[in-house]
Amino acid sequence: MIFFSVDETRINIITLSLLILFSAIAIYFIIGYTVKKLIVRQKILKLLIERRTRELQQKNEELEKNSIIKTRLISIISHDLVSPLKYIHFTAKNLLENKHSLDQDTVDEMMTEVMNSSKELELISTNILNWIKYQNEHRRLIKEEFDLNAIVAQIFSIFKGIAKQKKIELINEFDTGMILYQYMEPIRIVLYNLTLNALNFTEKGRITISGGKTNKGILIKVADEGIGMSNEQIANILSEQFIVSSINVDKRKGNGLGYLIIKDLLKLVDAKFVIKSKKNIGTKVTILLPV
């Protein structure tokens, strides 16, 4: 009897201690689990914050770059647009007022300048417009069918006068019927700028636009026989920090707006491009458009 009771008490104690032990273990695990969950949640939060911070930083950098470009554009507009326009006006007025006393050579010299300068102003204005148009990131892009041969022909017709003056031959190697289903406007603007660059940096020779369909996409090559670029200059153009500048390594005129537009638009249409150039031999820019 006594034994039994002792035994029962012992069992009770054992059960109790086991119960306490189990509860302790359970509590330990529950706390551990909760703490772990909290830590994990904290880590996720931290990662999220980090990601957001990075995004914000990136946005900030972009905005900063954009604001630098905008400032630069204001400078280009006042320096390269406003004052030449003012002097076109002065010159035309002066010519009109003195038409009876001026010799023919002077008149010709002035009229040629007015003709060339107004063309140049048209080209710069077009490009500034091009850049502004594509600044809106939510701008909807539409793919459409177009004939590459016709696009190139249209671009060449804009530059016909300048090319003729400089005795540069413009060659369009695309056959008619080279139909693309692509974002036409950005591609047109890119080709416009590549041709303009080629013209600005070529003294004589040919500018050729060629290419075709490959299994990786559509290749378009713009090649000139101009003064070319050094590897350093190419690296500078390709760098993310590339900013339009009025001074160019070559001490040649140019405001850098062209490549800024080219890079922005090619990114927009998901195309890749390669620049190959040799000093005094020429430059070839190859674009690969995704199919």
Do residues 286 and 219 touch, judged by C-beta distance below 8 A?
yes
Stretch that binds another protein, among 111-119, 158-166, 223-231, 270-278 (CB under 8 A): 111-119
Distance set, CA 85 to CA 17, 77, 88, 96 (Å) = 98, 11, 5, 17
The correct pick among 97, 108, 122, 144 for binding another protein (CB under 8 A) is 97
The correct pick among 17, 23, 67, 176 for binding another protein (CB under 8 A) is 67
Q: How far apart are alpha carbons 140 and 146 in whole angstroms?
A: 18
Give the residue with the Cβ less far from another protein, 88 or 268. Answer: 88
Nearest-approach distance from CB 123 to another protein, in angstroms: 14
The correct pick among 34, 78, 176, 231 for binding another protein (CB under 8 A) is 78
Residue 83, phi then psi, degrees to nearest 5: -70, -40
Residue 226, helix vs strand vs coil: coil
Do residues 207 and 168 touch, judged by C-beta distance below 8 A?
yes
The correct pick among 6, 13, 243, 274 for binding another protein (CB under 8 A) is 243
Do residues 189 and 132 touch, judged by C-beta distance below 8 A?
no
Burial (Cβ within 10 Å: 0-12, 13-18, ≥19) of residue 39? exposed
The correct pick among 7, 109, 122, 270 for binding another protein (CB under 8 A) is 109
The correct pick among 34, 57, 58, 71 for binding another protein (CB under 8 A) is 71
Its sign, for the CA torsion 94, 96, 97, 103, is: positive
State both tokens at 248: 């160019």
The correct pick among 42, 57, 83, 165 for binding another protein (CB under 8 A) is 83
Do residues 148 and 178 touch, judged by C-beta distance below 8 A?
yes
Q: Is 252 in the site for another protein (CB under 8 A)?
A: yes
Q: Is 205 in the site for another protein (CB under 8 A)?
A: no
Q: Is 214 in the site for another protein (CB under 8 A)?
A: no
The residue ranges that bind another protein (CB under 8 A) are 64, 67-68, 71, 74-75, 78-80, 83-84, 86-88, 90-91, 93-95, 97-98, 101-102, 106, 109-110, 113-114, 116-117, 241, 243, 245-248, 251-254
